[in-house]
């Protein structure tokens, strides 16, 4: 009896990011939280990934970082990287309350899927702003 040939799944790698940031009324970026991931995939499973975060803020206009961090999660269905952070500005609306932007309790998440595609979610908020702040985001596969 002849056996059918064994077909091995070809494993590839990919990388990308979910970049989320806030801008003020004149279009200046006040802070950002970016989740970078890379992962392996073979068409049926995502595996062996890595996550890194990038945080920046406009120090010259009074913004400061309060906290930041990240985590990762791996399953066959997806690889997920998550970052979080909190920023504040005590002079943005002085003498009114301190302005905060949260990516903490909220998050920036990037997903790598078994197909090699990428996805992202974000949960962010700003509070006590006296002038409008606008949130922007971009999810992109790099390789």
CB atoms within 10 A of CB 97: 13
The answer on pLDDT for 6 being more than 90 is no
The answer on pLDDT for 7 being more than 60 is no
The answer on pLDDT for 49 being more than 60 is yes
Whole-number Cα distances in Å, 118 to 19, 36, 49, 80, 99: 13, 11, 13, 10, 32
% of the chain beyond a pLDDT of 90: 69
Q: What is the mean pLDDT of residues 81-99?
A: 91
Residue among 109, 111, 90 at smallest CA distance from 34: 109
- The arrangement of strands across the sheet holding 63-74 comes to 63-74, 79-89, 99-112, 118-127
* 36 band by pLDDT with thresholds 50, 70 and 90: very high
Q: Which of residues 50 and 3 earns the better pLDDT score?
A: 50
pTM, entire model: 0.87
Half-sphere exposure of 128 (CA within 13 A, CB side): 16
Q: Which of residues 68 and 5 earns the better pLDDT score?
A: 68
Chain-centre distance for alpha carbon 115: 20
CA torsion angle 30 128 133 92 (round to 10): -40
124-133 tens-digit pLDDT:
888 888 888 9
% of the chain beyond a pLDDT of 70: 92
Domain residue ranges in the chain: 19-131
CB atoms within 10 A of CB 54: 13
pLDDT at 120: 95
């Amino acid at each position: 009896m002849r056996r059918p040939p064994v077909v091995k799944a070809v494993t590839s790698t990919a990388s990308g990011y979910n970049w989320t940031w806030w801008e003020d009324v004149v279009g200046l970026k006040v802070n950002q939280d970016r989740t970078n991931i890379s992962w392996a995939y073979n068409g049926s499973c995502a595996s062996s990934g890595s996550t890194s975060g990038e945080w920046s803020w406009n120090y010259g206009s009074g913004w400061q970082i309060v906290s930041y961090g990240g985590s990762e999660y791996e399953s066959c269905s997806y690889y997920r990287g998550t970052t979080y952070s909190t920023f504040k500005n005590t002079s943005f609306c002085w003498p009114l309350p301190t302005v905060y932007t949260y990516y903490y309790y909220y998050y920036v998440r990037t997903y790598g899927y078994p197909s090699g595609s990428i996805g992202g979610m974000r949960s962010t908020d700003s509070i006590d702003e006296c002038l409008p702040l606008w949130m922007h985001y971009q999810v992109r596969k790099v390789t």
